[in-house]
Amino acid sequence: MLDFEWLTPSTVAEACQLAAQHGEEARFMAGGTALMLALRQRLVTPQAVISLAGISELRGLTWDATRGLRIGALTLHDELAQHPAVASHYPMLTHLARHMANPQVRHQGTVGGNLCYGDPSTDPPTGLLVWNAEVEIANAQRSRRLPLRDFLVDYFTTALAPDELLVAVHLPPPSAYTCSRYARHMRTAAEHRPLATVATVAIVNQGQCDEMRLAVGASSVVPRRLTTAEDVLTGRVPTAALVAQAADAAANELDALDDARGSAEFRRAMVRVTVWRELSALFELPDSQ
């Protein structure tokens, strides 16, 4: 059994001070679904584990028509799945949170822990990117906000400094003409983890797509918005031909992972067809491919 000090701060400032004191030798623990596995496999061997469970500032989901949605870092995936304001204003996130992982992980794992681990084979980062999410980060002295796309730096790497923690995720309120979808492609039905995730948000007014946002994850080192594909549809009236063009653009733009779960070529093919299906459904176009 690993021997480590168990620390239980009750404020963000206290947790960050403890992290600053211990430096690389400490790890925060939220729900523990990822960290416990890493500890058991000796992938990390910290001298101190700082539990975030007693910090009330990190809890809660709040909706405000002007400010949008605040998702506290300790929000469970299941809380996201069940929250009425999420279902009303960001229904795609309700779908995402209801279908990811398994019931045990959804009731124990947190949104903050998911983002901070930086694992590419996950769902929330892709879904949050298309809502223009920002993350609120704090250390003992100050807090800062940055776009989620800048927070997700590389494979299992985020923009967090060792003495910083994620406090909350903020989503601006959506426009009245917003429609959205989320899909995850599974390599086999027995797996929990997606091979490719596709999130779409479109602002459609009088038949024209005023703004297209499209993110792909789980098939690249970090989930990313695919702007070439977005540009195919932004400012246009969506047609089957444009959707097919956007799907091709997404597959070409993807910097695809090539690993034991799928070759880069296979991932690009799955992304292409998933983007094509999702955009066809989003714009209610015939599904004829």
User: Which residues contact ligand FAD (rule: CB under 6 A)?
Assistant: 27-35, 52, 73, 100-102, 105, 109-110, 112-114, 116-117, 122-124, 160, 165-166, 192-193
- Least separation, in Å, of the C-beta of 27 and ligand FAD? 4
| Paired tokens of 226 | 């695919």
| Paired tokens of 255 | 């910097």
Q: How far is CA 289 from the centre of its chain?
A: 29
Q: How far is CA 160 from the centre of its chain?
A: 16
Q: Identify the three-state secondary structure at position 158.
A: strand
Question: Smaller CB distance to ligand FAD: residue 109 or 174?
Answer: 109
- Least separation, in Å, of the C-beta of 66 and ligand FAD? 25
- Least separation, in Å, of the C-beta of 151 and ligand FAD? 11
Question: Smaller CB distance to ligand FAD: residue 68 or 118?
Answer: 118
- Least separation, in Å, of the C-beta of 246 and ligand FAD? 25
Counting every residue written for the chain, the total comes to 289
What gap in Å lies between CA 24 and CA 7, rounded to an integer?
15
Question: Smaller CB distance to ligand FAD: residue 15 or 229?
Answer: 15
- Least separation, in Å, of the C-beta of 40 and ligand FAD? 11
Question: Smaller CB distance to ligand FAD: residue 99 or 236?
Answer: 99
Cβ neighbors of 93 (< 8 A, separation 6 or more) are: 80, 86, 127, 128, 131, 182
- Least separation, in Å, of the C-beta of 284 and ligand FAD? 28
- Least separation, in Å, of the C-beta of 15 and ligand FAD? 9
Order of all β-strands in the sheet with 61-64: 61-64, 68-72, 165-171, 134-138, 143-147
Question: Smaller CB distance to ligand FAD: residue 119 or 210?
Answer: 119
Which helix (DSSP H) or strand (DSSP E) does residue 93 occupy? Answer: helix 91-99
Q: Give the DSSP letter of residue 174.
A: P
Other Cβ atoms less than 10 A from the Cβ of 198: the count is: 32
Question: Smaller CB distance to ligand FAD: residue 166 or 249?
Answer: 166
Round to the nearest angstrom and report the end-to-end CA distance of the chain.
Answer: 54
In the bound state, the residue with its beta carbon closest to ligand FAD is 113
Which helix (DSSP H) or strand (DSSP E) does residue 37 occupy? Answer: helix 35-40
Other Cβ atoms less than 10 A from the Cβ of 84: the count is: 10
Question: Smaller CB distance to ligand FAD: residue 9 or 31?
Answer: 31
